[in-house]
Amino acid sequence: MKKFLATLALALPFGLLAQNDLVELVRSDVRTEMRAIVTLNMGLTEAESEKFWPLYDAYEQDRKGLWDRKIALLKEYAEVYEGMTNEQAQDLLGRVMKLDTEFDATRTKHIKLMEKALPATLVGRFYQIDTRLAKLMDLQLSEEIPLAIPTEEAPQKGMKE
């Protein structure tokens, strides 16, 4: 997974994400690695696996579009971070926050579906694994992506000079 994140971070500034084959290759690597981590850490019986994996696959399918949007936002950020205007910053911030909310809502929706089919102890364990993976990915991305460089524009409302 670290390989994916490093590739993503390096590809953003150079426009490599426009190459759909590269994006799909990296995406499939991450899905494979995440599935392996979940498999190793869930300790499911055969009966539990029969119920869990279709639910997990549906969850991953719902998140695929969100990840595509996140990658697009990261690419957009990479193109403007050095000279970002206040308007661009407000727009990107709003879309990133909305996307974060959508990721959380998707997780909540699928956790509730899992609770109907599996013991709460297993669902709780999956929640722990999934949130840890998400936090690790966010941490790795944040280490690779530079902070925005403020421009010399006039301060916005609520900002001190």
Residue 161: pLDDT band (50, 70, 90) is very low
Task: Output the pTM of the full model.
Answer: 0.74
User: Tell me, what's the pLDDT at 8?
Assistant: 47
What mean pLDDT do residues 33-52 have?
94
* 3-class secondary structure, 15: coil
Return the closest-CA partner of residue 72 out of 94, 96, 88. 96
21 alpha-carbon distance from chain centroid: 19
pLDDT > 80? residue 86: yes
Q: Report the number of secondary-structure helices (H) and strands (E) in the chain.
A: 5, 0
What does the alpha-carbon distance between residue 27 and residue 4 come to, in Å, rounded to a whole number?
A: 8
Per-residue burial over 145-155, b = 16 or more CB atoms within 10 Å of its CB, e = otherwise: beebeeeeeee
pLDDT > 90? residue 83: no
Enter the tokens of residue 141.
Answer: 């991305």
pLDDT > 60? residue 25: no
The number of residues making up the chain comes to 161
Return the closest-CA partner of residue 79 out of 87, 88, 67, 66. 88
Task: Give the least confident one: 50-59, 82-91, 108-117, 145-154.
Answer: 145-154
